[in-house]
Chains A and B, each alone.
Chain A
Amino acid sequence: MIYLDNGATTFPKPKSVINSVNYALRNGANPGRGGHNLAIKSSEIVYNTRSLLADFFNSGDPSNVIFTLNCTEALNIVIKGILNPGDHIIISSMEHNAVLRPVEKLKEKRISCTVAEIAEGDSEKTLDNFRNAINEKTRLVVCTYASNVFGIKPPVERICAMCHQYGILNCVDCAQAAGIVPIDLSDSSIDFLCGAGHKSMYGPMGTGFMIINCDTIPDTLIEGGTGSSSYDYKQPEILPDRFESGTGNFIGIAGLSGGIRFINSIGIDKIYKKEMRLVKSAYQSLKNMNNVVLYTDEPDNYNYVPVLSFNIKNIDCETAADILNSKFNIATRAGLHCAPLAHKSKNTLDKGGTVRIVPSAFTTENDIKTLVNAVYKIK
């Protein structure tokens, strides 16, 4: 199979991930609970992954790295833990349901929202749209680092810096960018970085993280046992315990360390350039086909991540993806990609979405050529 659904989760996983998972399964007890050797060993594995993530994003203190089940949970913690009744939030027009749905839920608690349009290729216009959406009640801005449907990168750093000028907190959904685009939090205005461990970080599914890069600590989403301060009925304030109640995905966290080591062994810049070259190659071939509709400008290395959406004329996207799968053994993702806002902004909502391809470090030029030839044959 040619696997181009890496935007949903990367496949295959690197050997380092498989080895780490295998080791954890054979050597893992509950971390941060007991004092016996196996528990301490497991705690070391979790701490090692936490430290690797802190180094990967240059965020300093590993305590500020919070493990979650996925990026959605991390975003929920920030959105629901920061906003209070009467507050206002701004989200971008490319947000995933991981942002849109928590915000919709909060509307029941008198929290209002404005959607700021991301203008593709026009940073100034995008920035103006966010600035114009600010009002005296705006408490939080949530923006994707890159669209999970169209690969478009808004000027996130400038948006976050603008937030600070207005005394507003910001949160960035890095699900589709972490592991592909270098992000240096020591030189960043990002307050909360939320990421998925199983996408371009190459870890197992069921892993996500939130990195706190500011002095504001959100309220908790859940409370419970942390293995610390157990006489105290109240949730500990100390990080990361405050947000890590209950037994976490220890096996997944161990695997994530293998993913980070895999990226570091190749180099994130190299991975990004390679994947962008593949997506550009696909774009250039597909744009010359009369039966194909593309929705973005040609991707470049500054304004896009390696994510490409298209449709085949007169064939709905689900059927096209089904043909690619059944006749050509190519895995793509069709539909709305859990991002109706993004499809609305590109007028693909009524079409039922698009076919999306996302390469990984394992994708080859031949894979892309095979995809292009297959699309050419579908009429």
Chain B
Amino acid sequence: MDNLIKLSSVTQAMKARDILRKHGISSKIHRIPAVKGKGACSYGLLINNKLDKAVEILRNNNIKVTGRADIQ
């Protein structure tokens, strides 16, 4: 199972990935499908672990995390 951090655009996702990489956390860009009422057409980061730490790092770097989810 992977964890998904939702971000508002592909630019934000890539910026977030680079920031996490500097903190030793690897991640992968992932397309987020349109689901009405839950945000739509965006990108996020798949990470294997350290989800809470990753979210905290991004928030400290003024990256808006729009959501998080588990991916089966």
Are A228 and B8 CB-contacts (below 8 A) given A62-B15, A63-B15? yes
Chain B residues within 8 Å of chain A by Cβ, number: 20
Asked whether, in the complex, the Cβ of A63 is within 8 Å of the Cβ of B12, the reply is yes
Q: Are A229 and B31 in contact (CB under 8 A)?
A: no
Quick check: B40 and A238 within 8 Å, CB to CB? Answer: no
Q: Which of B23-52 contact A (CB under 8 A)?
A: 29-31, 33-34, 36, 39-43
| Shortest distance between the CB of B22 and any CB in chain A (Å) | 13
In the complex, which of the residues A35, A39, A228 contacts B9, with contact meaning CB atoms closer than 8 Å?
A: A228
Contact present for A230 and B11 (CB under 8 Å) = no
Interface membership of B14, Cβ < 8 A: yes
Q: Which residues of B lie under 8 Å from residue A62 when comparing CB positions? A: 11, 15
Q: Is the CB of A227 within 8 A of B10?
A: yes
Instruction: Specify which chain B residues have a CB less than 8 angstroms from the CB of A63 in the assembled complex.
Output: 11-12, 15
- Find out whether the CB atom of A34 lies under 8 angstroms from the CB atom of B31: yes
Known: A34-B31, A230-B34. A43 touches B10 (CB 8 A): yes
Q: Is the CB of B11 within 8 A of A50?
A: yes
A237 — nearest CB in chain B belongs to which residue? B8
Chain B contacts for A231, CB-based, 8 A: 34, 36, 39-41
Which chain B residues lie closer than 8 Å to A241 at the CB level? 8-9, 11
Q: Which of A34, A47, A229, A238 contacts B14 (CB 8 A)?
A: A47
A221 within 8 A of B: no
Task: Kindly provide the distance from the CB of B5 to the nearest chain A CB, expressed in whole angstroms.
Answer: 15
Within 216-269 of A, Cβ neighbours of B (below 8 Å) are at 226-232, 236, 238-241
Which A residues touch B18, using CB under 8 A? 51
Partner of A229, one of B15, B33, B36, B41: B41
Closest B residue by C-beta to A40? B29
Contacts of A50 in B (CB 8 A): 11
A residues contacting the other copy or chain, number (CB 8 A): 26
Of the residues A34, A229, A240, contact of B11 by C-beta under 8 Å: A240
Contacts of B31 in A (CB 8 A): 34-35, 39-40
Asked whether A227 and B41 contact (CB < 8 A) given A34-B31, A35-B31, A43-B29, the answer is yes
Q: Which of B9, B15, B31, B41 has the most CB of A within 10 A?
A: B9
Are B10 and A31 within 8 A (Cβ)? yes
Residue among B14, B33, B36, B41 making CB contact with A44, cutoff 8 Å: B14
Do A32 and B40 contact each other (CB < 8 Å), given the known contacts A40-B29, A47-B14, A61-B15?
A: no
Which of A39, A43, A44, A228 is close to B42, meaning CB atoms less than 8 Å apart? A228
Q: Is the CB of A228 within 8 A of B34?
A: no
Collect the chain B residues with CB atoms within 8 Å of residue A43's CB.
Answer: 10, 14, 29
How close is A113's CB to chain B, nearest CB, in angstroms? 34
User: For window 47-104 of chain A, which residues contact chain B by CB distance below 8 Å?
Assistant: 47, 50-51, 61-63
CB distance from A62 to the nearest CB of B (A): 6
Cα separation A62 to B17 with both chains bound (whole Å): 13
- CB <8 Å contact, B8 and A236: yes
Q: Give which listed residue, B9, B15, B30, contacts A236 with CB less than 8 A.
A: B9
- Docked Cα-Cα span, A237 to B40, in Å, equals 15
Write out the residue numbers on chain B whose beta carbons fall within 8 Å of the beta carbon of A229. 8, 39-42
Contact of A238 with B8 in the complex, beta carbons under 8 Å:
yes
Residues from chain A with a CB closer than 8 A to the CB of B30 are 35
Query: Is B29 within 8 A of A32, CB to CB?
Result: no
Residues of A within 8 A of B64 (CB): 238
Inter-chain CA distance A226–B14, complex, in Å, is 16
- CB-nearest residue of chain B relative to A240? B11
In the assembled complex, the CB of A156 is this many whole angstroms from the nearest CB of chain B, namely 29
Q: Give the interface of B toward A (CB within 8 A).
A: 8-12, 14-15, 18, 29-31, 33-34, 36, 39-43, 64
5 further A-B pairs in the complex, CB-CB below 8 A; given A50-B11, A226-B9, A241-B11 = A63-B15, A227-B41, A228-B41, A230-B34, A236-B8
A residues sitting closer than 8 Å to B (CB atoms) are 31-32, 34-35, 39-40, 43-44, 47, 50-51, 61-63, 226-232, 236, 238-241
Would you mind naming 11 contact pairs between A and B with Cβ atoms under 8 Å apart? A34-B31, A40-B29, A227-B41, A228-B10, A229-B40, A229-B42, A230-B41, A231-B36, A231-B40, A232-B40, A238-B8
